[in-house]
A and B are shown apart, each in its own frame.
Chain A
Amino acid sequence: MNKIAATVDNFGRAILENIEEMGRILLLFLSVLMWMVRPPLKLRLIFKQMEFVGVKSIFVVVLTGTFTGMVMALQGYYGFKMFNAESLVGSTVALGMTRELGPVLTALMVTARAGSAMAAELGTMRVTEQIDALYVMAANPVKHLIVPRVIAGVLMLPLLTVVSDFMGILGGYFVGVPVLGINSGAFISNITKLVDLGDIYHGLTKAAFFGLILSLVGCHKGFIATGGAEGVGRATTEAVVLASVSILISDYFLTAIMF
């Protein structure tokens, strides 16, 4: 009997902790919004983060986007061949990339690259008292550290997604047309016929939302880190796991709402 009670107790506690954490992240979001509109905006810090989150992620995004497009073309080809509909491969790749895989894969890659770095950097600043030092010098850490990262996340993710979408379609074309022998004209005309701007916009909206999630979660986990090097390591792992899971779950709901 006691064991059952203990299990229920632990389960309830875990749920409560998760809800509390969600609340904290929401409060952090509100305070980010508040500090975002309070001048002066730290443009130099924002550009620095945009470079880190955006520019320096281009390579991995190009790589994952291209290969995803290539493998989709390959997989799609075997399916469509059964119905003699190989010319639909192009539009399948394009729709899949713009609506779904472009934003999600980009967000996951940037989470691994930049979300983890945010948690590690802020966590180190927390345990070495640099965040306290900001408070002591009457400088708000949310404004100095978190606002630039969140702005960079929200702005750069859609831009990276554009790159990913484009490279995916290019990769699909490369596999579909020269390698598998699909007619180039049919490949392209089906894309332009079946993909409309709405597909792309929705994908980019999702990307911006994912950018918000990964930067908020990364900053939150780092900001509350305690317990030296081990604590920073834990914060980084938790940030990547929580951000990735949140991105995939919110992806379903965003898709359900928008499409």
Chain B
Amino acid sequence: MIKLVGIHKSFGRQKVLDGLSLDIEDGKTTVIIGGSGGGKSVLLKHIIGLLKPDSGQVLIDGVDIASLNDRDLNEIRKKFGMLFQEAALFDSMNVMENVAFPLREHTGKKEKEIREIVKEKLKAVGLTGVEDKMPSELSGGMRKRVGLARAIAMQPQIVLFDEPTTGLDPVMTEAINELIVETQRNFDLTCVVISHDVQSIFTVGHKIAMLYKGKIVEYGTPEEIKSSSDPVLRQFLSGSLEGPISVI
């Protein structure tokens, strides 16, 4: 269970999160939407402890991770997998070594066993025969798939997605969305997806939260969100220039 309570975060004079609170349900996919530069990535980085809030609490299964030391934080992080925006594969390692990395780091498994797990995870994201390729030889969509395979290698309970479909063509976008839905269902994961891609939101989300001016302004099921009368949300979904969100 992920629970955010009254998170404040500023960078210099710029206030990015302003008393944000949000409960993220277990075993569901929650999509956080909001404008570019609106603090979505900052929010995601708080959930996994890459950033610490100025005030407020990030509770993972009831533990406030902002107050943990390195060692305890690492224990919590083993519950997580994360797919970064550009996949963040280690470019000095091939695909096999990338996906095997967390396994080699944290399990005492034998090399043969690790190779089998890697193959299985790659298959789960629809890739075969790419083990010896370097990340630079892969397309954007394939890199994301490998990134996802690495994220689920340790059988995490929670997987975070940082704009999984940004920069992909429409077909690849659909494929990645489908993959997120499947992965979530097959491994019974709690997923947090941040996105500004309106189409993807309704494909993958069980719950949707709208982030605006450092707060969650609307939260609900896709149906509730579609029928919401919140002016910010209406403008965001319709992509209109008219409304409370000022572009310039």
Contact = CB atoms under 8 A, between A and B. Distances in A.
Q: Do the two chains bind?
A: yes
Interface of A: 124-125, 128-130, 132-133, 135-140
B77 interface: yes
Nearest to A132: B50
Contacts of B78: 138
B88 A132 contact: yes
B182 to A, nearest CB: 22
B112 interface: no
Given A130-B91, A132-B50, A139 B86 contact: no
A30 to B, nearest CB: 14
A137 B102 contact: yes
B191 interface: no
A125 B105 CA distance: 19
Contacts of B105: 137-139
B166 to A, nearest CB: 13
B9 to A, nearest CB: 16
Contacts of A136: 48, 50, 77, 80-82
Contacts of B86: 128-129
Interface residues of B, number: 25
B110 interface: no
Interface of B: 45, 48-50, 70, 74-75, 77-78, 80-82, 84-86, 88-91, 101-102, 105-106, 150, 154
A133 B88 CA distance: 7
Given A130-B90, A132-B50, A137 B84 contact: no
B90 A133 contact: yes
A132 B77 contact: no
Q: Which of A128, A132, A138 has the most CB of B within 10 A?
A: A138
A234 B60 CA distance: 38
Contacts of A132: 45, 50, 84, 88
A164 to B, nearest CB: 29
Contact of A138 (B85, B90, B106): B106
A137 B81 CA distance: 7
Nearest to A139: B105
Given A136-B48, A140-B70, A130 B88 contact: yes
B37 to A, nearest CB: 15
Nearest to B73: A138
A125 B50 CA distance: 15
Contacts of B50: 132, 135-136
Contacts of B49: 135
A140 B88 CA distance: 16
29 contacts: A124-B91, A125-B90, A128-B86, A128-B88, A128-B91, A129-B84, A129-B86, A130-B88, A130-B89, A132-B45, A133-B82, A133-B84, A133-B88, A133-B89, A135-B77, A136-B80, A136-B81, A136-B82, A137-B77, A137-B102, A137-B154, A138-B74, A138-B78, A138-B102, A138-B105, A138-B106, A139-B101, A139-B105, A140-B70
